[in-house]
Structure formats: structure tokens, C-alpha cells
């Protein structure tokens, strides 16, 4: 199976599974899935998050998702348990479609690693 087709199928399966679990079946968008990854990485599930916290959670997720690609490296957890990353390499300029594919690929890899999908 072509790599792009496999990614598309895995992505659609992941969206369906997450949407069923977290959104009563309404398809979650990319940003919402990135947010879920941030919450997962922080590990503070039963907390109410402010708007600024939500942006920070998305930042954590992006760092964690792009870490295997060499763009970020985990540095430390602060006193509140928030992970911090350092930039290892700047992201190259990407068109919107290329950004979306990179993030979908990174998200699928993340959930494969977590054994949430196969």
C-alpha cells in the first residue's frame, strides 16, 4: 500500500476513534487532536484549563510530536509538572498543506507508539 494511502487510512481511523471517544461522534479537527495530545503529555486530565493553558498544551503537543523528527528535544519538567522543550532545528518553511501532512504523520506515529491505533 502506498505510504500516502496508508497515512490517509490511519488518519481517518484515528479521527473516527478519537471523535467517538471525545466528541460524541462529531469529527475532531487537527487542532483539537493536537490539544488532546498536549493534555495526554501533561497528564493532568481532570483540570479546567484557561485559554492560555490551552495554547501552552498545544505547544507541548507540537514539541512532543515533532521531537522524533529532530526539531525539538525534551529538556525538563517544571515545578507544576509541565514539560519544556528546546528547539534543536528550526522547522523549514512549509506550505499549509505540507504542514498539515507533517502534523498528521506525526500524530499517527504518536498514537501508533502509544498503541492507541494499529
| Residue pLDDT, tens place only, 67-94 | 999 999 999 999 999 999 999 999 999 9
Sign of CA dihedral 11, 12, 13, 16: positive
If one counts the domains in the chain, the total is 1
Residue at 109 is within a domain: yes
Residue at 6 is within a domain: no
Range of the domain at 51: 29-113
Sign of CA dihedral 28, 32, 33, 36: negative
Residue at 37 is within a domain: yes
- pLDDT, position 25: 73
Residue at 69 is within a domain: yes
| Residue pLDDT, tens place only, 28-75 | 999 999 999 999 999 998 889 999 999 999 999 999 999 999 999 999
Distance CA 84, CA 93 (A): 23
Residue at 9 is within a domain: no
Amino acid at each position: 500500500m502506498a505510504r500516502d494511502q496508508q497515512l490517509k487510512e490511519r488518519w481517518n481511523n484515528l479521527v473516527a476513534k478519537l471523535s467517538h471517544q471525545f466528541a460524541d461522534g462529531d469529527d475532531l479537527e487537527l487542532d483539537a487532536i493536537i490539544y488532546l495530545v498536549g493534555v495526554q503529555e501533561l497528564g493532568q486530565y481532570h483540570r479546567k484549563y484557561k485559554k492560555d493553558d490551552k495554547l501552552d498544551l498545544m505547544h507541548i503537543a507540537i514539541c512532543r510530536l515533532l521531537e522524533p523528527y529532530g526539531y525539538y528535544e525534551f529538556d525538563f519538567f517544571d515545578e507544576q509538572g509541565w514539560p519544556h522543550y528546546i528547539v534543536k532545528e528550526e522547522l523549514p518553511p512549509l506550505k499549509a498543506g505540507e504542514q498539515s501532512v507533517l502534523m498528521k504523520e506525526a500524530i499517527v506515529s504518536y498514537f501508533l507508539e502509544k498503541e492507541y491505533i494499529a
